Amino acid sequence: MSQNVQPVPKNSNKTLILLLLVLIVAILGVTVYFLLGSGSGLGGGLLGGGDVPQAQFIVGMNKVVLRPQDLPTAYKIVPGGDLNMSNAQLTNNVGAAYGKPLILNTGRVDGWDLAMERVNPDDFAPEYVRSRVEIYQDASGAKTALSQDWFWAYTMEDRAPDEFLDKSCNVGSNCFTFMYSEAKPGSGSIVERYDAALRYKNVVIWVMIKGYQGEVSEALVLDYAQMVLNKVETIQ
């Protein structure tokens, strides 16, 4: 009597092994993508997911701030306005009672500050432009530095802005803008100042512009902040 037994293909084991190999390769590919390509920051991130390297940043941070050649209108650096904003200098500027705890709680490492003024008074452009970049030990510290507990616009009464405008602007991370205004004595004209503060990884960027009403705006200060951010992003 013949038995109704279906033959087992001889290559079934090879097929199973091949499928397993394909599955393993797929899993490895997804893992590599998320660890390296997605910017998770694990192990520094071979594709740029980690923090901005401190050594490379510090060497070139004087070029990362806005400089006269970056702007379409002629500007000149104010006397003493091209400054290494070290931790010691920062503490000297804002006072030890505020500066020292800020540095300890945020892991601030170093920074650079540059201030410029317009060359031609008749140009329709901000009269004054200032920008600063600061690097921290890690992204968490930079984020803390921009928090309501530590950023000077929130914490220092004599520097409190007239108005916070946008606390979620789309330049970098943790971006916000604020402004000041005052009447210029004897002329009745309004002088306005717009500031933007933001973070890129472990770097904080601050830009301010000042001029007569109409010469400056929130949109313009964000454009200038984006220019600084573009420079920071090139540091490897």
User: Could you write out the DSSP letters of every residue in 69-136?
Assistant: GGSSS-EEEEEEEEEE--HHHHHHHH-HHHHHHHHHHHTEEEEEEEEEEES-TTSSS-SEEEEEEEEE
pLDDT beneath 50, residues of the chain: 1-10, 18-19, 22, 25-48
How confident is the model over 2-56, as pLDDT tens digits?
444 444 444 555 555 544 554 554 444 434 333 333 333 323 333 346 999 999 9
Rounded to an integer, what distance in angstroms lies between the CA atom of residue 216 and that of residue 223?
11
- Going by C-alpha positions, the residue among 74, 148, 140 that lies closest to residue 108 is 140
Where does the chain hold its CATH 3.40.1000 domain(s)?
Answer: 54-232
Could you tell me whether strands 108-118 and 128-136 are parallel, antiparallel, or unpaired per DSSP bridges?
antiparallel
* Annotation: CATH topology of 54-232: Protein Transport Mog1p; Chain A (3.40.1000)
Q: What is the pLDDT of residue 32?
A: 35
- Quick one: pLDDT at residue 12? 52
pTM of the predicted structure, to 2 decimals: 0.79
